Amino acid sequence: MKKRTLGNSQLEVSALGFGCMGLNFGYGPGPGKQAAVKLIRDAFEHGVTFFDTAEAYGPFTNEELLGEALAPFRDQVVIATKFGFADGNASAGMDSRPARIREVAEASLQRLRTDRIDLFYQHRVDPNVPMEDVAGTVRELIAEGKVRHFGLSEAGVTSIRRAHAVQPVAALQSEYSLWWREPERDVLPTCAELGIGFVPFSPLGKGFLTGAIDADTSFAKDDFRSIVPRFSPQARQANQTLVDLLGRIAAGKGATPAQIALAWLLAQQPWIVPIPGTTKLTRLQENLGAAEVALSRDELDQIEASLAQIQVQGERYPAHLAARAGR
């Protein structure tokens, strides 16, 4: 697996990471703890060194299974986790008070079976806590050796700049893919200016860009996509045009739509590190194969021209969750 460095942080990771959330949270029943542990270890054996979790996934249980999975080779991997929700519950609102950040750090260290968190993200910006206080608390945790690097998730440009002025931000994690390109407007230029790495989550459009989902797919009530406007049957039918485009490009490259979607992200900047998630070994192997798919400048220009003709339908979040992003 090729390596990349997240901005100016000197934090070197595999070119593709592994997003662990879906192993037991967000997309309905997962494969079970032991199967999840095995898949994480399979990812490591295939060269992945960057693993992403959060206290809110479960809550808490995702960190526990990741800690168990990575314990045998802890010093060979980079672990990212997150703070920022009240009591670790994403539906309970934000809580990034300094005392709470410290509580989360201590608890996460225990669950992850480690003595340091490599990358500690604020999961969402808390409008009730000054960003300077958040960044200052993480700076203290770094000085104490409990955290190595500071990150933000779904933060807006003003918050990024305020945080970075107190404690350098190593990475910003936000949604970015062929069907959500909003970060290109302001966030990615800011990351380039400040030397901040960028970690796209949902790089495969929550599974849609793989081609495995169509207008007839049904989602369980505990699957987050069941409340996402972009995954309504009407939106999925309209957005099939994008998947068809990926299929045509993939066929010409001897690749899969998922590999083209990930290769496109990798081609945008050398400091972008996508973190696709999966519950299946075959999909893991497919995703990691994207690191070997090279898109030429002409192919990227052709993709750009084709995308300009496609209008993606549906919002990426319901309104109450959209309000949390970009602050």
Q: H helices within 144-271, ranges in order?
A: 157-166, 187-194, 233-253, 257-268
Distance CA 169, CA 41 (A): 29
Listed in order, strand segments (DSSP E) in 168-325 are 169-175, 197-201
Angle between helices 98-111 and 61-70 (to 10 degrees): 40
Average pLDDT, integer, range 20-38: 95
Q: What would the pLDDT profile of 281-314 be if each residue is shown by its tens digit?
A: 999 999 999 999 999 999 999 999 999 999 999 9
pLDDT of residue 302: 93
| Span 141-183, pLDDT tens digits | 999 999 999 999 999 999 999 999 999 999 999 999 999 999 9
* 263: pLDDT strictly greater than 90: yes
Pairing between β-strand 3-5 and β-strand 12-14 as defined by DSSP bridges? antiparallel
pLDDT band at 233 (very low <50, low <70, confident <90, very high): very high
Q: Which two tokens stand for residue 171?
A: 């990475």
Instruction: State yes or no: pLDDT of 56 exceeds 90.
Output: yes
Nearest to 46 by CA among 80, 12, 67, 77: 77
The CATH class given to the 3-207+269-293 domain equals alpha beta
309 Cβ contact list (under 8 Å, min separation 6): none
Mean per-residue pLDDT, 204-209:
96
Answer for the pair 177, 236: CB distance below 8 angstroms, yes or no: no
Which of 269, 265, 259, 243 lies closest to 293, judged by CA?
A: 259
Q: What's the pLDDT tens digit per position in 108-151?
A: 999 999 999 999 999 999 999 999 999 999 999 999 999 999 99
- Given the residues 57, 121, 176, 317, select the one marked as catalytic: 57
pTM of the full structure = 0.97
Q: Which residues contact 39 (CB under 8 A, 6 or more apart)?
A: 23, 31, 278, 279, 280, 281, 284
d(CA 85, CA 100): 9
Could you confirm whether 27 is annotated as catalytic?
Answer: no
- Percentage of the residues of the chain whose pLDDT score is greater than 90: 96
Could you state, in order of their start, the residue ranges of all structural domains in the chain?
A: 3-207+269-293
Residue 28's pLDDT is: 86
CA proximity to 70, closest of 48, 37, 46, 47: 37
Burial class (CB in 10 A: 0-12, 13-18, 19+), 64: middle
Give the DSSP H/E element, type plus range, for residue 154: none
- Write out pLDDT tens, residues 94-109: 999 999 999 999 999 9
Report the half-sphere exposure of 148 (CA within 13 A, side-chain side). Answer: 17
Work out the pLDDT band at 70, boundaries 50, 70, 90.
Answer: very high
Q: Contact 194/164 with Cβ under 8 angstroms?
A: yes
* Residue-level pLDDT at 48: 98
